Amino acid sequence: MAEIAAEAGVPFAARQRPPAKVVGPAAWARRNLFGSWWSTALTLVLGYLILRFAWGFFDWAVVHAIWTVPYDAQGHANSAPCRAQMGVGACWAVIADKYRFILFGFYPYDEQWRPLVCIALFLALYAISANRRFWRRELGLVWIVTLLLILLLMHGSETLGLTVVTDDRWGGLPLTLLLATFGLALAFPLAVAVALGRRSRTLPAVRLLCVVYVELIRGVPLISLLFMSSVMFPLFMPQGVNFDNLLRAQVAIILFAAAYLAEVVRGGLQALPKGQYEAADALGLSYGRKTRLIVLPQALRIVIPPLVNTFIGFFKDTSLVLIIGIYDLLQSGRAAVDDPVWQGFGNEVYVLLALIYFCFCFAMSKYSRGLERDFSRSRRR
């Protein structure tokens, strides 16, 4: 456009800035918040409610909050000052006293550096994977090694001098990250395979199997699947054969997530123009190469938003394992306030839990938006 204007002989200097009435924050507010008497009224009412709530929260969480409580000679916290302020101010002392239980559940107190290292390993793994410079074949190897290392650290090994901690004592944040990461990392390839299988024209039996799998799994709630894995599954197995509870819950989550992700991926496969398949065929690419080089890179880019949506949903859905007695982050937090000293101080703990979940989910959402932007930049313009 600039060249056209220049060629037409319109000097740039002659152009004026738009008047302040059109741009700037004041104009924005006028246009969007006070455009008519109706929107002005709405702005005022909602503004009042938001301020009112924000002030109430601030008053509770900061102004009247109690940050520490006295400890007696045995090291037990005395929650009496908090009880006196209950309902008026937050008692953050509950978190100071209980944070290790919330974060690590029933994991032996002296060994809790191990789950802490695991959390660090998870975060490092996410950080590395997020960087597109590292998107190479070796990254898969890094994932496998890191995940195995995490399992080893959590479980321990006598030969390495680490006390064995069986997984019924695992809990808290590492367990949530474990369920979510293993769940999605294994569900995703399965989902791609199922989505491709469902679109197969040459293998009708495979297609039928994929359809049945997706429809069966999607037809039941995750809770019932978890119950089935925990209660019914052992009934069908011969005496003496028993897989542990956590593993069964993990498998249930993988199968459930894969069914949903498969439908998302299938959407991407369908959105790809037929011409792309034909061009790949015409060049003589085999099915495998066509899928890997042409179809999946494009189909998966198309479905980044719904894919991340599903990821975020499943990250939070891992908290449903609490119904079969697994102490994930949410359940550990709930259990922390079962302590008679801290009974009734659930709000403070839930605020913390919400904050932790929010950090992870928001990071995923933010990252996916960046990814979308990068991909669309290389595609168009």
Partner 1 sequence: MSVTVAAEELPEVQSAVKADAAPAIVMEKVSKWFGTMQVLRDVSMTIAQGERVVICGPSGSGKSTTIRCINRLESHQEGRIVVDGTELTDDLRALDTIRREVGMVFQSFNLFPHLTILENCTLAPIWVRKMPKQQAETLAMEYLTRVKIPEQAKKYPGQLSGGQQQRVAIARALCMKPKIMLFDEPTSALDPEMIKEVLDTMIGLAQTGMTMVCVTHEMGFARQVADRVMFMDRGEIVESGTPVRMFEDPQTDRLKLFLSQILRGH
378 binds partner 1 (CB under 8 A): yes
Q: How far is it, in rounded angstroms, from Cα 287 to Cα 267?
A: 19
When the beta carbons of 114 and 301 are compared against partner 1, the nearer one is: 301
Q: Which helix (H) or strand (E) holds 352?
A: helix 346-379
DSSP secondary structure of 247-296: HHHHHHHHHHHHHHHHHHHHHHHHHS-HHHHHHHHHTT--HHHIIIIIIH
Q: Report which of 331, 5, 317 is spatially closest to residue 171, judged by C-alpha positions.
A: 331
Closer by beta carbon to partner 1, 17 or else 377: 377
265 interacts with partner 1 by CB under 8 A = no
Task: Please choose, out of 21-29, 38-46, 171-179, 293-301, the segment that lies near partner 1 by the rule CB under 8 A.
Answer: 293-301
- CB 288, min distance to partner 1, A: 10
Q: State which of residues 281, 325, 359, 366 lies at the interface with partner 1 (CB under 8 A).
A: 281
Closest CB to partner 1 among residues 15, 377: 377
Burial label for 321, CB within 10 Å (0-12, 13-18, 19+), is: buried
Binding flag, residue 286, partner 1 (CB under 8 A): yes
Q: Contact between 282 and partner 1 (CB under 8 A)?
A: yes
- The Cα 332–Cα 104 span in angstroms is 8
Could you tell me the CA-to-CA distances from 44 to 25, 29, 34, 56 in Å, in that order?
18, 12, 9, 18
Query: At CB < 8 A and 24+ separation, what contacts does 126-132 make?
Result: 126/363, 130/367, 132/374
Contact present, 326 and 245 (Cβ < 8 Å):
yes
Taking the mean position of all CA atoms in its chain, how far away is CA 19? 45
Q: What one-character-per-residue DSSP string does 35-49 give?
A: SSHHHHHHHHHHHHH
Q: Are 229 and 252 in contact (CB under 8 A)?
A: yes
> Which residue of 31, 76, 218, 289 would you call a contact of partner 1, by CB under 8 A?
289
Sole binder of partner 1 in the list 150, 186, 258, 294 (CB under 8 A): 294
Among 27, 285, 361, 371, binds partner 1 (CB under 8 A): 285
| Given 42, 54, 212, 279, the residue binding partner 1 (CB under 8 A) | 279
Size of the site for partner 1 (CB under 8 A): 23
Asked if 325 is part of the footprint of partner 1 (rule: CB under 8 A), the reply reads: no
Q: What are the structure tokens assigned to 122, written together?
A: 């998870």
Q: How far is the CB of 1 from partner 1 (least distance, A)?
A: 17
Min. distance of Cβ 196 from partner 1 in angstroms? 18
**CB closer to partner 1 out of 17 and 136:** 136
Pick 15 or 381: Cβ nearer partner 1: 381
Residue closer to partner 1 by CB (options 90, 192) is 192
Residue with tokens 């959390």: 119
User: Least separation, in Å, of the C-beta of 266 and partner 1?
Assistant: 19
Binding residues vs partner 1 (CB under 8 A): 273, 275-276, 278-286, 289, 293-294, 297-298, 301, 375, 378-381
